[in-house]
Structure 1
Amino acid sequence: MANKWQAAYEIIRYTKYVTAYYESETDTLWLKNKSTRTLMCINETPIENIHVEGITESIFSNKNSLDTIAGFNVKRVKIYYLNSAKGKRTFKSKKLRVTHYGIENIGEIILSPFYKIDTKYKKQKQNDWYKRRVLSGNPLEMYMIKSTPMTSVLIMINTLIFLMNLFYIHIKDSMHFTNQLGLTHFDVVQGEYYRLISSAFIHANVEHFLFNIFALYILGKFVESIYSHVHILITYIVTALLANVVSLTFITDSLSLGASGAVYGLLGVLVIFMLINRKINTKLIVQIALTFIVISVISSFFSNVNHYAHVGGLIYGLMLGVLFQAKRIDWKISLPVLVLLLATPIILWSVVLKHDSYQPVDEVGLKYLNEKQYDKALETVNETFQYNKETSTTYYILAKLYDISGDFEKAKENYNKSFELDPENELALKYKLYELRKANDYDSMKKLIDNIDRDHIYDDELRAIEEDMRSKGY
């Protein structure tokens, strides 16, 4: 048998209602739903013992006071009488509709299937526990009460993929899962567009995962409570995708992953909501700011923080926030924002396609090669071939490994394959120039060097060869 405070708590948790006002002298609690312009009162006295006509007349005569309590023009008042025989009586005036409901349990008010599932496993708390949370004036705590199933689903998907990735890394000693789901310029421009979304659900390590999930939990509950399950899903997917497009515009030679772009997108949506609805107050600003300052400061101690994705997610989150509030914002603002939201990704994508691509697994292989970890270098090469993503650099690494092992024929074969695939690859070009210099074929060397953009030579040895040839008059 539910009491008034438990009923109010569950209604706040599973519906759009929030606390409006509590009159301690009469022990009267009002909840409000701004979207439906409704006030709700919960009464523990059975409806059979109530003179509903007298209460209704009092409500009609105090309409202005109810508007003040609610903060909007109240259109409906619903009064629920707990532990009563089922019944309903409705009264209307020109400005207000008042309905009295006799109900046996609060399940008749809360239609969410998640409530019915939750009640099977949840233990009932003390009356004061419910009362403290219902009357809390802290907006952060009020939104934390809300049931947000889509936020929970997103957290569960992130958690499941994170655990699978840990299994591959620590049990199978493989980066397969990371490499298959992470964001890389090379793979996306090759047609693996799913990475623009999949990378937003995979994390590099425990710290990375915990920081993002903590932020997703808080901001997700805010956004889903304020809007809907659909809004948070749209925000997560759209801002993750567009933040990754921004990332690829600037980062072409490494692998990116994590939910941070989407998390900052949720922050952008929330900021616009608070600005438009004048929900900004010092306490709330401090709470949210401290949360992200702590996350940003701690995450800065870890390498490879993708600030481009953070900024991109925030900007597109702000744009979505404006569109979500389109009814309250002048179309002269919302229309240009819509145009920007649609146009900027197209412009950025055209830039992405113009960039040279680098296979990030090759970069890892080169790193192992330079550190003389030849077994690991060979593993990365084999993995690249396994997924048919070999490049000129892959063949160069394989050639170097054959060279080191003493199989010079195989080394030469792969050096030549590397050069054939990409004559502009500095590693392959450098080998080719060494071979020509051994044969004293300086004319052929000159032809190759003439094709080099001398202002954009990054390999020190190749630059030295080019300068030596120039000093000799070639």
Structure 2
Amino acid sequence: MDKIKQMWKSIYYLVYTEGFNILSIDEEDSEVWLTHESKKVVKRFIHKAPTHQEVDFDFEKTTDHLSSLIDSIGFSFEQLDTYYLTDKDIDFTEFNHYKRPKIRYYALSSVEDFEKVSSHIITKQQIKRSKTTAVTTYKNKLLNASFIDSFMLKFSPVTYFLVAINVIVWLSLVLIFNQVAQINLVDYGGLVHFNVVHGEWYRLLTSMFLHADFTHLIMNVFSLIIFGKLIEDALGSIKMFIIYLVSGLFAGLVSLSIDTVSISIGASGAIFGLIGAFIVYLFTRKNINKQFVLQTFIGIAIISLLALFISNVNHFAHLGGFIGGAILMYIIYKWMEHDKFKMHYIIAFIVLIIILVFIIFSRQQHYIYDELTKEAMNNGDFNSAETMIKQIKEKNFESDETYILSGLIVANNTSLDEAILEWERGLKIFPQSPKLNYQLALGYRAKDDYDKANKFINQSIKQDKNNEHYKALKKEITAFRS
């Protein structure tokens, strides 16, 4: 076994599978340092067979100058693993330091030893099974990769998982359910203020995985791959998933607190959460790479500009997601820094969520189902309108407008007498509705029953004295009665 090749192979998969970064390489490539800030782990590979005295000296030097080492690395690590490439099986147990930070030494003399450089199951399998290539191949991929290649090549399981879910859901709606119409988006989990205040909070989650069309899907998948991989590489899979999910939910709450009319769908709120988190992450770094920051902001600007050309974009959700992601990243940063006020930040974020929920419930309801029914009727699709009315009644979402529309459908499909019965049923449920009284007045006027028409129009005017339509009908009925 060529231990040098095996070392670079191990380094390669630690970088591209787990997200480690190369901190430094000495001139002779005999010592390589890797760091992983979110895991707070540092790994060091040394190409030499050490003596007992050399390991002892290294241990003393590390512990005595720990603060300087932390400053040079750039973050307070909790684990430092040193690996020596040697032909001898050496026992380093006496040098292992189990207090924080943990300092441990290992000998790499066999393939099995190299497998132990990581506990990550995929990294271990890659080190064990993948074909070992030339050292220069690994080094070129690691050291000469462009800005884009450096993170696009890295293994990002959560990003790929989220992309797969979004694609699968869209294909299911298109191929299995034939189309993605507006009415279907409500049925399949679109975010609607009316439904949420009636208890359907799950829509905050389901709406994040729905897309209006192929262009909408591709734009979000493209953005998710870029910023998902950036955040997952920077913070790790779990933190990235938390930011994506929570900022997406937060985006939905902000949207609902402002817009009570629209049907909101798409992953863009969560994606803007990743963007907000990444910007905060950049500015919490001690040494900011100006070129990296510039390229990142160019990417954000392009994504934002492209979003302007997509119809029906929910900018409130974008803003909410961005703010939510930025707040979450700041909380995570303070948590990782063991800030004494970290719980205060979490509590403040929870209080902000409670305030948004209070605002959502204080907003006037917009009966979107009635609107969709009316739209179907205007398009001459009375079958869809009738189906929608049945759904409204099954869910107990009806309003006085629901019964007016239901009666009009009945009048179209059966008779005016049946329609009048439907409007009267509605009036029993909504006795103070001027609209239903007006509709009944119109119905009885059409039947030339002006006494009953007068009775109902009087009720309409009593409940809404300033409505010009009611006054006009009153004059008409009075003229026919005289």
TM over 0.5: yes
Q: Structure 2: how far apart are the matches of 1:297 and 1:467? A: 51
Q: Deviation per CA, 1:378-426: give whole Å up to 9, x if none.
A: 4434554566655444443332233234522222223333444446767
Give the secondary-structure state (helix, strand or coil) at the position aligned to 1:445.
helix
**Match of 1:314?**
322
Q: Structure 2: how far apart are the matches of 1:96 and 1:398? A: 71
**Match of 2:469?**
465
Instruction: Choose the corresponding residue for 1:271, options 279, 297, 300.
Output: 279
* TM-score (normalised: structure 1): 0.79
Q: Does 1:243 align with 2:246?
A: no
The structural deviation recorded for 1:9 is 1.4
In structure 2, give the amino acid aligned to 1:247: S
Q: Structure 2: how far apart are the matches of 1:172 and 1:142? A: 37
Cα-Cα RMSD: 4.1
In structure 2, give the amino acid aligned to 1:293: A
In structure 2, give the amino acid aligned to 1:397: L
Q: Structure 1: how far apart are the matches of 2:242 and 2:200? A: 21
Q: Does the CA contact (< 8 Å) of 2:56 and 2:95 recur in 1?
A: no
Greater shift in the superposed pair: 238-247 or 285-294: 285-294
Q: Structure 2: how far apart are the matches of 1:378 and 1:229? A: 47
Give the 3 Å change call, closer, same or farther, for CA 196–91 of structure 1 in structure 2: same
Instruction: Choose the corresponding residue for 1:448, options 435, 454, 460.
Output: 460
Structure 1 unmatched runs, 5+: 455-462
Q: Deviation per CA, 1:134-162: give whole Å up to 9, x if none.
A: 22586665444443333333333333323
**Match of 2:357?**
349
Q: Does the CA contact (< 8 Å) of 1:392 and 1:417 recur in 2?
A: no
Instruction: Choose the corresponding residue for 2:143, options 123, 128, 135.
Output: 135
Alignment of 1:148-167 (within 5 A): 148-167=156-175
**Match of 1:304?**
312
Give the 3 Å change call, closer, same or farther, for CA 337–420 of structure 1 in structure 2: farther
Q: Does 1:21 align with 2:29?
A: no
Q: Structure 2: how far apart are the matches of 1:358 and 1:224? A: 39
The structural deviation recorded for 1:427 is 5.7
Q: Structure 2: how far apart are the matches of 1:80 and 1:265? A: 38
Alignment of 1:40-119 (within 5 A): 40-43=43-46, 47=49, 53=53, 57=57, 70-71=73-74, 78-81=81-84, 84=87, 86-89=89-92, 99-105=105-111, 106-116=114-124
Alignment of 1:393-404 (within 5 A): 393-404=401-412
Give the secondary-structure state (helix, strand or coil) at the position aligned to 1:41.
strand
Give the 3 Å change call, closer, same or farther, for CA 61–447 of structure 1 in structure 2: closer
Q: Deviation per CA, 1:234-288: give whole Å up to 9, x if none.
A: 2233222222122111222332222222222222222222212245444333333
Q: Structure 1: how far apart are the matches of 2:53 and 2:79? A: 16
Q: Does the CA contact (< 8 Å) of 1:253 and 1:358 recur in 2?
A: yes
Give the secondary-structure state (helix, strand or coil) at the position aligned to 2:364.
coil
Q: Does the CA contact (< 8 Å) of 2:437 and 2:457 recur in 1?
A: no
* TM-score (normalised: structure 2): 0.78
Q: Structure 2: how far apart are the matches of 1:120 and 1:429? A: 79
Q: Deviation per CA, 1:350-389: give whole Å up to 9, x if none.
A: 2222333334343222112123333443443455456665
The structural deviation recorded for 1:52 is 6.9
Q: Does the CA contact (< 8 Å) of 2:420 and 2:443 recur in 1?
A: no
**Match of 1:198?**
206
Greater shift in the superposed pair: 440-449 or 349-358: 440-449
**Match of 2:193?**
185
**Match of 1:459?**
none
Give the 3 Å change call, closer, same or farther, for CA 187–171 of structure 1 in structure 2: closer
In structure 2, give the amino acid aligned to 1:3: Q
In structure 1, give the amino acid aligned to 2:373: G
Q: Does the CA contact (< 8 Å) of 1:5 and 1:134 recur in 2?
A: no
Give the 3 Å change call, closer, same or farther, for CA 292–409 of structure 1 in structure 2: farther
Q: Deviation per CA, 1:172-191: give whole Å up to 9, x if none.
A: 99965751322122222222
Q: Structure 1: how far apart are the matches of 2:407 and 2:128? A: 64
The structural deviation recorded for 1:61 is 6.9
Q: Structure 1: how far apart are the matches of 2:384 and 2:12? A: 56
Q: Does 1:370 align with 2:378?
A: yes
Q: Structure 1: how far apart are the matches of 2:414 and 2:233? A: 65
Q: Structure 1: how far apart are the matches of 2:442 and 2:80? A: 87
Give the secondary-structure state (helix, strand or coil) at the position aligned to 1:101.
strand
Give the 3 Å change call, closer, same or farther, for CA 97–371 of structure 1 in structure 2: closer
Q: Structure 2: how far apart are the matches of 1:386 and 1:97? A: 64
Q: Does the CA contact (< 8 Å) of 2:37 and 2:234 recur in 1?
A: no
Give the 3 Å change call, closer, same or farther, for CA 147–446 of structure 1 in structure 2: same
Give the secondary-structure state (helix, strand or coil) at the position aligned to 1:40.
strand
Q: Structure 2: how far apart are the matches of 1:124 and 1:178? A: 53
Give the 3 Å change call, closer, same or farther, for CA 229–56 of structure 1 in structure 2: same
Structure 2 unmatched runs, 5+: none
**Match of 2:419?**
411
Q: Structure 2: how far apart are the matches of 1:61 and 1:86? A: 24
The structural deviation recorded for 1:24 is 3.7
Query: How many residues are paired up?
Result: 461
Alignment of 1:420-435 (within 5 A): 420-422=428-430, 428=436, 430-435=438-443
Give the 3 Å change call, closer, same or farther, for CA 133–16 of structure 1 in structure 2: same
Q: Deviation per CA, 1:25-49: give whole Å up to 9, x if none.
A: 456432234568765333567x4xx
The structural deviation recorded for 1:322 is 1.9
Calculate percent identity across the aligned residue pairs: 23
Q: Does the CA contact (< 8 Å) of 1:419 and 1:429 recur in 2?
A: yes
**Match of 1:219?**
227
